[in-house]
């Protein structure tokens, strides 16, 4: 029997995750039964659960992958850039995020596991804000932790809005306002006016 390479295993894992993302987005967590997952992936339950312990582990793997990618973008470009990138996310990604939020309200065990994964995003946000503050880019009159919470709340609201199909005609302008809210205020130019008592040249 030919040996399966690590690359082939990773490829199969990615195939399962992509199909599961579509299934969870289309049917919700409860509706994405093992049978639905088999149809969506084109694989048997044995093949699916060879890579993931159960449906819960499969869903958590999707959520964890999303959190890891988000943390990486935050570390490099900031959370506002993650928000700007949301317009390009497909229905599968947004559907999973909506399902995550539903389960956070109804499943305490899932909420606890999700909180652990979100720490990486929060830490990356705070570290970047600290670096930007040291460079004079981020405002210094508000604690960094408060700025991080502000950005997280905006991000969560935006994800929920996009996932439920709300219009985003002014998204760029809204995110410009968010970015301005955390940046060091611009000093208005000093207006130089002539002294009325000064003789003109």
Check residue 192 and give its pLDDT.
54
CA distance 29 to 40: 14
| Residue 161 pLDDT > 50 | yes
For the beta carbon of residue 58, count every other beta carbon within 10 angstroms. 21
Residues 32-62: tens digit of each pLDDT: 899 999 998 898 989 898 888 888 888 888 8
Residue 35 lies in a domain: no
The model's pTM = 0.75
How do residues 62-110 score in pLDDT, each as one tens digit?
888 888 888 899 989 999 999 998 878 877 788 788 888 888 888 898 8
Domain membership of residue 127 as a residue range? 55-182
Q: CA–CA separation, 24 vs 50, rounded Å?
A: 19
Task: Report residue 201's pLDDT band, with 50, 70 and 90 as the boundaries.
Answer: very low
Residue 47 lies in a domain: no
DSSP letters, 174-188, are HHHHHHHHHBPPPPP
- CATH code of the domain in which 78 resides: 1.10.357.10
166: left (phi over 0), alpha (psi -120 to 50) or beta: beta
Q: Is residue 26 part of a domain?
A: no
User: Does residue 45 form part of some domain?
Assistant: no
Residue 131 placed within a domain: yes
Domain count, the chain: 1
Report yes or no on 27 lying in a domain: no
Give the pLDDT band (50/70/90) at residue 199. very low
């Amino acid at each position: 029997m030919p040996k399966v390479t690590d690359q082939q295993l990773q490829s199969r894992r990615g195939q399962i995750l992509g199909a599961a993302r579509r299934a969870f987005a289309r049917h919700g967590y409860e509706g994405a039964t093992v049978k639905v997952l088999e149809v969506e992936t084109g694989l048997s339950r044995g093949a699916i659960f060879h890579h993931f312990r159960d449906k819960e582990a499969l869903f958590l793997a999707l959520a964890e992958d999303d959190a890891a990618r988000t943390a990486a973008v935050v570390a490099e470009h900031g959370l506002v850039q993650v928000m700007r990138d949301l317009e390009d996310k497909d229905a599968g990604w947004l559907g999973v995020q909506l399902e995550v939020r539903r389960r956070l309200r109804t499943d305490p065990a899932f909420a606890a596991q999700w909180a652990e994964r979100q720490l990486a995003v929060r830490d990356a946000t705070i570290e970047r804000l600290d670096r930007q503050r040291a460079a004079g880019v981020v405002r210094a009159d508000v604690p960094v932790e408060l700025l991080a919470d502000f950005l997280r709340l905006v991000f969560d609201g935006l994800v929920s809005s996009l996932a439920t199909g709300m219009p985003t005609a002014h998204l760029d302008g809204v995110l410009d306002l968010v970015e301005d809210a955390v940046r060091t205020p611009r000093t208005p130019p000093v207006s130089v006016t002539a002294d009325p008592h000064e003789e003109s040249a």
